[in-house]
Amino acid sequence: MRYRLLIFDWDGTLMDSLGRIVACMQAAGRDIGWELTSDQVRDIIGLGLPEAIARLCPGIEAERAEALKQRYAHYFVECDQPPMAFYPGVSHGMQQLRRDGQLRLAVATGKSRRGLDRAFRESGTGAWFHASRTADETRSKPHPRMLEELLAELEVPVEEALMVGDTEYDMEMARALGMDRAAVTYGVHSPERLAASTPVFTAHSFPGLMEWLTT
């Protein structure tokens, strides 16, 4: 293995949750009288929710922004939704990585701590990871603070770590620290948009990422 620490984004990288995020945010927007297109919502996936709402709805009043946040949480958590699944190859690949006793695995996500912990419980995958950071307990992407905190907690130098993500926010967060970054193209942002952040590798599937990591 070429790295000691692999840091993964969650939505759009490990979990195929993009459709639900878009549908729930659009429904929440309609509830407060703010129409949102699917492209607009997809563009902010990966940011913390307050930052995402500020970008989605420029000039929105604080009370209305809070209402949008609460309605989004309602739709995402409480409404009857089909279960979300990992992308093909993720479960097998992560279990393979976890068997390497020297390798550390972490999550850096725009989700809240409550949301990530819920995802861990529902998927039964919290034990995969040695550490995690969410946007509501540190700075949102693309600020690199969550990566700095993970490096410090796990005592791994930046040159021995890799960030894996599907958005330019993931890539730019890592680039700000001089951390290697691998892009996956099956999530939110286009290959061209990801390429602007000069990833060391671009994968079109999770098995493709695994092949690169383990050879």
Residue 211 confidence (pLDDT): 96
> What is the number of structural domains in the chain?
2
Same domain, 126 and 195: yes
Structural domain boundaries, residue 123: 5-16+86-214
Residue 215 confidence (pLDDT): 86
Q: Which of 33, 48, 78 is the last residue of a domain?
A: 78
Low-confidence ranges of the chain (pLDDT < 50): none
Same domain, 59 and 133: no
Question: Tell me, what CATH number does 124's domain have?
Answer: 3.40.50.1000
Nearest to 44 by CA among 150, 175, 135, 164: 135
Same domain, 110 and 182: yes
Same domain, 181 and 153: yes
Nearest to 75 by CA among 16, 31, 124: 31
Same domain, 194 and 137: yes
Q: How far apart are the first and last CA of the chain?
A: 8
Q: Which of 53, 78, 103 is the last residue of a domain?
A: 78
Same domain, 99 and 61: no
Same domain, 191 and 181: yes
Same domain, 46 and 127: no
Same domain, 183 and 94: yes
What residue type is assigned to position 138 of the chain?
T
- Alpha-carbon distance 43 to 166, whole Å? 11
Residue 2, C-beta contacts closer than 8 angstroms, at least 6 positions apart: 162, 213
Same domain, 108 and 45: no
Residue 76 confidence (pLDDT): 85
Question: Tell me, what CATH number does 48's domain have?
Answer: 1.10.150
Same domain, 121 and 35: no
3-state secondary structure labels for all residues of 82-116: CCCEECCCHHHHHHHHHCCCCCEEEEEECCCHHHH
CB-CB contact of 71 with 78 (8 Å): no
Q: Which of 26, 58, 78 is the last residue of a domain?
A: 78
CB-CB contact of 110 with 132 (8 Å): no
- Alpha-carbon distance 11 to 68, whole Å? 20
Residue 82 confidence (pLDDT): 66
Same domain, 102 and 179: yes
Residue 212 confidence (pLDDT): 96
